[in-house]
Amino acid sequence: MLRSVVLMIVSEYEEHLEKIFAKRAERSNDAHLHHFVRKSCERRFRSPDLTKIRDMLKHLGGDYDKSFWDVLENQNPVIKESWISLMTARHAIVHKAGNVVLSWGDMETAYANSRRVIDELVKAIGLTPEEIKDL
């Protein structure tokens, strides 16, 4: 059951990240740019580790990455570690690379904390609650 829930969480994160970046690109009112960002994200976030998120932020502008990383690295590293924990568990499950070292309680905590990574990403790229309410 734990394995299934971890895979479901990460799968939802993959889709949500794509939608967030596409929503930001939508602001340009350039249909071709919006399409490009959507297609780029579809491939980029099949395993949404923080390096991939940061790379995308750097491509959009270094200030986005700095803002995002400052919160995760300096202000609230527990949310960073929670994200890493879920991604590590996902990797172990998908690639059958050893045991998943996550208990059910650990998974619940990691999920609650990791959701804040998404919140910080949204803040870093300047999306409003109105813009993301239907994602």
Is 2 within 8 Å of 102 (Cβ atoms)?
yes
Greatest CA separation for the chain = 46
Report the alpha-carbon distance of residue 120 to residue 99 in Å, rounded: 30
Is 14 within 8 Å of 6 (Cβ atoms)?
no
pTM of the entire structure? Answer: 0.88
Q: Does the pLDDT at position 97 exceed 80?
A: no
Rama region for 29: left / alpha / beta (φ>0; ψ in -120 to 50; rest) = left
Run of H or E including 62: helix 62-69
Mean pLDDT of 67-84: 93
Give residue 34's pLDDT band: very low, low, confident or very high (50, 70, 90): confident
Q: Does the pLDDT at position 54 exceed 90?
A: yes
